[in-house]
Amino acid sequence: MKFGKEFVSQMVPEWQEAYMDYNSLKLLLKDILCFRQCNKVTTPMASTPEGSSLKRRVSLYRAFSGLTSRHRGSPKKKEDEEILVSEEGPEGQWQTMFLMSSDEGGDIEVVFFKRLDEEFNKVINFYKKKVGEVVDEAEELSRQMDALIALRLKVENPLVELGGTDVIDRGSNGVSSQSTVHPTSGRRPGGPQMDVIPEVEMSNEGEMEDEERGSKESKTSDQKGNGSTVDIKRFKPPSLEILDHVKINVTPESPVSTVKGILKSSKPDLSFSKKELRKAEEQMTEAFNEFYQKLRLIKSYCFLNQLAFSKIMKKYDKISSRNASKAYLNMVDNSYLGSCDEVTRIMERVEATFIKHFTNGNRREGMKTLRPRARREKHRSTFFLGLFSGVSIALVVAIIVLIHARNILRSEGRGQYMENIFPLYSLFGFMVLHMLMFSANIYYWRRYRVNYPFIFGFQQGAELGYRQFFLLSSGLAILALAGVLSNLDMEMDPSTKSFRALTELVPLGLVTVVLLIMFCPFNIIYRSSRFFLLQCIFHCLCAPLYKVSLPDFFLADQLTSQVQAFRSLEFYVCYYGWGDFKKRSHNCLDSRVYRSFYFIVAIIPYWIRSLQVFRSSNILYAAITQSQPI
């Protein structure tokens, strides 16, 4: 794949306008090339006695020019330079002066370097902006980490006062020195600006020295007073005053907790319980994960743009037969884009902090959370997808052939079939169509690099792709089409004046099978995704008692388009509950209760969505809590 396509494929879609416009610069290089070819322009650098052999010899090493030309190039005289790059203006804008503008076609090269400077300054400004944002976010994350460590200490030992004035025996509690809080401002005096993550774990050595010094003093005093040596290890816990300025917002996650929150006073009662600690740890884990992913995107942005400038300058040297890339790429390396290592240092501090405080020092587990691996596509899924799709098409063809062979369209029972059996199987048609459309959504999300697993909050590494959804829809289609094929009888048994009970119960059996698969507790058929769907359905049914998240209201929006499927479920209840399914007859349409529920069922999805809007608009949530999360 050419670099231009690879460059576009690796872009962050939201930042696409901030990347270097590689294609427009290539067009300018094409203009330079066309002008030189049309006018047969040559440069002194290109004229050699053995031009062809030299060109061939250089081309053998062209792939490694990016590694050698910046450091091993022969020293060049000042008067032989083609460009001069300088930083000018109050905002530090980089400008390139092309010294060979008097050459033939030099005006086109001047335009190229002007456009190149515009793109470089755009990249620099955006990169500075993003680095400044992550610095501020790191400082905020540092303060929240201080509060979390203080909360851990308070929960593990409730006897510790917030002022930190009590002296507590180290051996009498389970608090280790790694869990102590050392409030910092996020930056060390005189140190680099990027040390924003408080290095709480770096203070262990100082604590050990203080403990040794304190134990020696205690031994000396005991020897003087009592003539015996007693090693008393005592320490003074750090100040926990940070908890006085923190309000822990434990969001109600169940109907009972929501009702309690409404009935209670709006002033939160901070008990520093294990529930609050667990919730705070979950929120901090999610915050660290999101922050780390943002750091990785910024680092990728920096690397891709540096590579793009290197590639475009090498193309310019090749077309113009000049050696301007060395000076320009040296400027790129010395600029903020190439010399700033603040993002890398923050990433290292985030990794160290997360591994130590959230995975008990297990680096493998910590990095698995911070850097989740992409789901591997299995050939087994592709094989069964093709198999099920082929079987589905074969069943459709078989049904069509059977309808024509039996002349079912002209039989007397066709009207009875369409009134009783067809609405039963239409439920599966709606489900299969919905799953196919959702698999198409996932396909386009992946194609345009939309991070849908993160947006919807799917379990990392267990999210379903479009192949898996297509596989499930084709499997469900096979079950439904096989049921239709076995239930195409249009004539009753003349002896019993009824249809066979076994074939008439096929639609009900299919619904039962689907429900059993949905609630199956065993780890088969994508259990984590099934349970995630059931959880979202339960949240929708209990709206507005649950906090509305993106998967919940997305599912509610989808349910509003499945009104007819809900009416089919209502028909199942009426047909098999009060109808005579053996004779394919029912009086559902004559029942006032059925006709009333016919409209109520259609209103339920819209009612659920309106309750979610009511909850998310903070009309109800404002009465529960006014505190900010830890």
What does the pLDDT read at residue 576?
Answer: 93
What is the maximum alpha-carbon separation in the chain? 114
More confident residue, 426 or 87: 426
Mention every residue, 6+ apart, whose C-beta is less than 8 A from residue 608.
540, 541, 543, 556, 559
The secondary structure element, H or E, covering residue 94 is strand 93-98
More confident residue, 154 or 137: 137
- Is a pLDDT exceeding 60 seen at residue 233? no
CA dist 256 → 263, 470, 545 (Å): 11, 38, 8
Mean pLDDT of 367-374: 80
- Is a pLDDT exceeding 90 seen at residue 80? no
- Is a pLDDT exceeding 70 seen at residue 30? yes
What does the pLDDT read at residue 551?
Answer: 92
What does the pLDDT read at residue 400?
Answer: 93
- Is a pLDDT exceeding 70 seen at residue 419? yes
- Is a pLDDT exceeding 60 seen at residue 150? yes
**Which residue intervals of 245-341 are DSSP H helices?**
255-263, 274-320, 325-334, 336-339
Helix (H, G, I), strand (E, B) or coil at 517: helix
What does the pLDDT read at residue 261?
Answer: 57
Mean pLDDT of 43-56: 45
CA dist 265 → 204, 261, 262 (Å): 42, 8, 8
Helix (H, G, I), strand (E, B) or coil at 499: coil
What does the pLDDT read at residue 618?
Answer: 56
- Is a pLDDT exceeding 50 seen at residue 144? yes
Mention every residue, 6+ apart, whose C-beta is less than 8 A from residue 76.
323, 326
- In this prediction, what percent of the chain has a pLDDT beyond 70? 70
| DSSP β-ladder status, 93-98 and 83-88 | antiparallel
Lowest mean pLDDT among 179-183, 252-256, 567-571, 616-620: 179-183
Lowest mean pLDDT among 12-26, 226-240, 474-488: 226-240
What does the pLDDT read at residue 352?
Answer: 92
Give the distance from CA 487 to its chain's centroid.
46
- Is a pLDDT exceeding 60 seen at residue 312? yes
- Each residue of 244-293: pLDDT tens digit? 555 555 555 555 555 555 555 444 455 667 877 888 888 888 889 889 99
CB atoms closer than 10 angstroms to residue 233: 12
CB atoms closer than 10 angstroms to residue 111: 14
- Each residue of 384-407: pLDDT tens digit? 999 999 999 999 999 999 999 988
Helix axes 363-370, 274-320, angle to 10 degrees: 70
Mention every residue, 6+ apart, whose C-beta is less than 8 A from residue 44.
none
Mean pLDDT of 19-38: 86
Whether 608 contacts 559, CB under 8 Å: yes
Lowest mean pLDDT among 139-153, 233-247, 514-528: 233-247
Select from 117, 118, 121, 115 the least CA-distant residue to 31. 115
CA distance 440 to 357: 41
CA distance 559 to 543: 14
Confidence of residue 54 (pLDDT cuts 50, 70, 90): very low
Mean pLDDT of 327-336: 88
Select from 464, 613, 617 the least CA-distant residue to 553. 613
What does the pLDDT read at residue 200?
Answer: 38
> Can you give the pTM of this predicted structure?
0.67
What does the pLDDT read at residue 230?
Answer: 40
Mean pLDDT of 519-523: 92
Mean pLDDT of 223-237: 43
State both tokens at 353: 């902090």
Select from 349, 351, 390, 376 the least CA-distant residue to 199. 349
More confident residue, 63 or 124: 124
Helix (H, G, I), strand (E, B) or coil at 356: helix
Confidence of residue 58 (pLDDT cuts 50, 70, 90): very low
Mean pLDDT of 286-314: 92
- Amino acid (1-letter code) at residue 551: P
What does the pLDDT read at residue 247?
Answer: 58
- Is a pLDDT exceeding 60 seen at residue 59? no
- Is a pLDDT exceeding 80 seen at residue 450? yes
Lowest mean pLDDT among 16-25, 224-233, 275-284, 419-428: 224-233
- Each residue of 570-586: pLDDT tens digit? 999 999 998 888 888 88
- Is a pLDDT exceeding 70 seen at residue 136? yes
- Is a pLDDT exceeding 90 seen at residue 50? no
What does the pLDDT read at residue 444?
Answer: 93
What does the pLDDT read at residue 537?
Answer: 94
Instruction: Tell me the residue length of the chain.
Output: 630
- Is a pLDDT exceeding 90 seen at residue 296? yes
- Amino acid (1-letter code) at residue 423: P
What integer best gives the mean pLDDT of the chain?
A: 76
- Is a pLDDT exceeding 70 seen at residue 72? no
